[in-house]
Amino acid sequence: MAMTTTAAKTAKAAWANEANDPSSPVVRFGLDKPLRLDAGTVLSPFQIAYQTYGELNEARSNAILICHALTGDQHVANRNPVTGKPGWWDVLIGPGKIIDTNRFFVICSNVVGGCLGSTGPASTNPATGKPYGLDLPVITIRDMVRAQVMLVDHFGIDRLFSVVGGSMGGMQVLEWAASYPERVFSALPIATGARHSSQNIAFHEVGRQAVMADPDWHGGKYFETGRRPEKGLAVARMAAHITYLSESALHRKFGRNLQDREALTFGFDADFQIESYLRHQGMSFVDRFDANSYLYMTRAMDYFDLAADHGGRLADAFTGTKTRFCLVSFTSDWLFPTEESRAIVHALNAAGASVSFVEIETDRGHDAFLLDEPELFAAIRGFLQSAARARGLDQP
Amino acid sequence: MSVNVAHRVDLQVVADFIAPRAKVLDVGSGDGLLLELLQNDKQVDGRGVELSQRGVNECVSRGLSVIQGDADRDLVFYPDKGFDFVILSQTLQATRNPKLVLDELLRIGERAIVSFPNFGHWRVRFSLFFFGRMPVTRDLPYSWYDTPNIHFCTIRDFVALCDEVGAKVEKATALDANGQKIGFNMPWWFWNFFGQQAVFLLRR
């Protein structure tokens, strides 16, 4: 923004330049188009930053919406402007890939509450001219989806060919299918659940407490001090990162190996490779993510309970649905274990929905959905191909 | 699920029982051979349940709507009369509670189609009678100690079970060792002796 000097900007984290004026295209919704929030208020004006890949066909029937996870962003298949790394689902999406952008029009937007260009706690509050901080109302998964609906409307798309996402992205997929069934031809929720379990809320609370215990958090108003709660956010990320992996994968990768040393130092330096790895994960995270955004994202997942929104019976969330579903879980995912997916499958069966369900054997834990997993790719390819046939989308 | 697919001569018989464009649930869908046949030849709206994860992943990658599940445990989640046909093909003998499974099939489907290997076939009787050994045949290639088939029955046993659960036999076919249909007007005892497999179309 105009008020920030160049010097102050360079002292900021890499993500900070993206919050208000992202490198991505942006749709701005004015006061005439407020975002209605579950918190009982509205967010207005607000903006959504997004990326698209491929071409929307004439019938507007080939659009796939990708929903990102907790700390993901809209840069799903292009180089990330903050980290310089390839898109987070680059292995899956692109010309000639499983989600073929020669064939499909792929949309991915930053969720509301995020920090890469959609309105979030780091965005400037028009009422004060300062970042929202904790003045931003708490955002829910349904709020994120409502904002995505407005983006999809902006493209003039009545019905998405598919909505795809893992983890928090999978929650958005389920919300889309439950709230807008007639607008979702097929849905692919991966490594997710219809609610956040007590254990998952517990881990998120540890992360939030780590952020808020950092004196530099400053009640969420750290933008006033020029300092950021980097230590707290890094600890939050370290704890969370463990939940994305599995015990066996961690041990396979790191064992009890020592980091750049021959023997234990009898101190509290990072003796073990796993410590060094986690510290690195924590430190690199603070460069690409806003601490307040982390609070909002984790809260959104905690609040998600699709059955509770439908009278306590999950099947009622999908009554009469025509959407074709494919669920995927991973054997070593203890954050969203297979049972969570199976509960959704049973609910969909009870609702008479068309559903496929694949459990993939891997020791890579929750993060497996982001990795090169041949069986995952085979399932996605088969599911989308048969859905495309049913939708009348011909091979290019 | 438990029988070599190359010898699944019953599949065409099952397909012949099914009306075009019907909504079909295939319980024990294996690698999806029958579902694919039904989708291509009968344009059905087909779903599958399969116990082995490998079978499921294979089906889904071929574009079939199949979930991992257990006939004994997971049928309870389906609504009443949600399907026109529910098929249990060569799987009944591998379930823990065949009576309950049959009950569930008749609840979920307007009609149920059940195919199974006939344990009353003369080869089976011959093996037991003359050698005193549990039979190992082309269609039943397992030894007694490693077989997934824990509840064998004869055609007459099955007809009795149908009576017990109140199922009406609308059609039935027995196949001989060469996969040929046995004459329609033959008596039950003849089918029970010469039928290697049986396919029943049931309703309640």
Cα B113 from chain centroid (whole Å): 7
Q: What residues of chain A, 350 to 379, have a C-beta less than 8 Å from chain B?
A: 350-352, 354-361, 375, 378-379
- How deeply is A31 buried, as exposed, middle or buried, from its count of CB atoms within 10 A (0-12, 13-18, 19+)? exposed
Coil vs helix vs strand at B188: helix
Q: Are A86 and A191 within one domain? A: yes
- As a whole number of angstroms, the distance between CA A164 and CA A134 comes to 30
Q: Indicate the residue among A243, A265, A298 that finishes a domain.
A: A298
CB contact under 8 A, A345 and B59: no
Answer whether residue A1 is part of any domain: no
Catalytically annotated residue among A109, A333, A341, A367: A333
Q: Are A165 and A104 within one domain? A: yes
- For the question of residue A290 being annotated catalytic, the response is no
- pTM to 2 decimal places: 0.91
Phi, psi at A57, each rounded to 5°: -75, 175
- For the question of residue A167 being annotated catalytic, the response is yes
Q: Indicate the residue among A252, A270, A298 that finishes a domain.
A: A298
Host domain of residue A351: 6-196+305-391
Contacts of A326 in chain B (CB under 8 A): 60
Nearest-Cα residue of chain A relative to residue B39: A386
Tokens representing residue A295 in the block: 């609070």
User: Is the separation of the CB atoms in A258 and A273 below 8 Å?
Assistant: yes
Residue A216 in contact with partner chain B when CB distance is under 8 A: no
* DSSP characters over A19-46: HHS-SS-EEEE-TTS-EE-TTSSEE-SE
Count the domains in chain A. 2
Mean pLDDT (chain A) is 94
CB contact under 8 A, A356 and B78: no
Nearest-Cα residue of chain A relative to residue B74: A346
Residue A286 in contact with partner chain B when CB distance is under 8 A: no
Q: Are A285 and A314 within one domain? A: no
User: Which among B53, B61, B79 is the nearest to A350, CB-wise?
Assistant: B79
- For the question of residue A309 being annotated catalytic, the response is no
Contacts of A383 in chain B (CB under 8 A): 60, 63
Tokens representing residue B170 in the block: 């609308």
Catalytically annotated residue among A167, A186, A246, A341: A167
Report whether pLDDT(B141) > 90. Answer: no
Answer whether residue A262 is part of any domain: yes
Nearest-Cα residue of chain A relative to residue B63: A382
Nearest-Cα residue of chain A relative to residue B62: A382
Residue A343 in contact with partner chain B when CB distance is under 8 A: no
Q: Are A54 and A134 within one domain? A: yes
Q: Are A68 and A156 within one domain? A: yes
Q: Are A368 and A249 within one domain? A: no
Among A3-7, B79-83, B85-89, whose mean pLDDT is lowest?
A3-7
Task: Give the gap in angstroms from C-alpha A221 to the nearest C-alpha of chain B.
Answer: 49
CB contact under 8 A, B68 and A324: no
On the question of a cis peptide bond just before residue A45, with omega within 30 degrees of 0, the verdict is yes
Coil vs helix vs strand at A67: strand
- As a whole number of angstroms, the distance between CA B75 and CA B61 comes to 23
Closest listed residue to residue A165, CA positions, set A176, A152, A154:
A176
User: Is the separation of the CB atoms in B30 and B50 below 8 Å?
Assistant: yes
Q: Please, what are the averages of pLDDT over each run of 10 residues along chain A (396 residues)?
A: 39 80 96 98 98 97 98 97 96 97 98 98 96 97 98 98 98 98 98 98 98 97 94 98 96 95 95 97 95 98 97 95 97 97 95 94 96 94 94 79
Mean pLDDT (chain B) is 89
CB contact under 8 A, B57 and A378: yes
Tokens representing residue B186 in the block: 């033959």
Report how many Cβ contacts below 8 Å link chain A to chain B: 66
Q: Are A188 and A207 within one domain? A: no
Question: What CATH code is carried by the domain that includes residue A330?
Answer: 3.40.50.1820
* ipTM, 2 dp: 0.83
Q: Are A245 and A386 within one domain? A: no
pLDDT at B39: 93
pLDDT at B8: 63
Contacts of B77 in chain A (CB under 8 A): 346, 349-350
Answer whether residue A384 is part of any domain: yes
Answer whether residue A146 is part of any domain: yes
* DSSP characters over A176-243: HHHH-GGGEEEEEEES--SB--HHHHHHHHHHHHHHHHSGGGGGGTGGGTT---HHHHHHHHHHHHHH
**Cβ partners under 8 Å of residue A277, min gap 6:** A254
pLDDT range class, residue B53, cuts 50, 70, 90: confident
pLDDT range class, residue B1, cuts 50, 70, 90: very low
- H or E element at residue B23: strand B23-27
pLDDT at A52: 98
Coil vs helix vs strand at A174: helix
Q: Are A176 and A96 within one domain? A: yes
CB contact under 8 A, A382 and B61: yes
Q: Are A24 and A40 within one domain? A: yes
CB contact under 8 A, B60 and A360: no
Nearest-Cα residue of chain B relative to residue A377: B61
CB contact under 8 A, A354 and B47: yes
* Architecture, CATH, for domain B5-203: 3-Layer(aba) Sandwich (3.40)
Summarize the confidence of residues B83-111 as an average pLDDT: 95
Question: What CATH code is carried by the domain that includes residue A253?
Answer: 1.10.1740.110
User: Which among A352, A354, A381 is the nearest to B65, CB-wise?
Assistant: A354
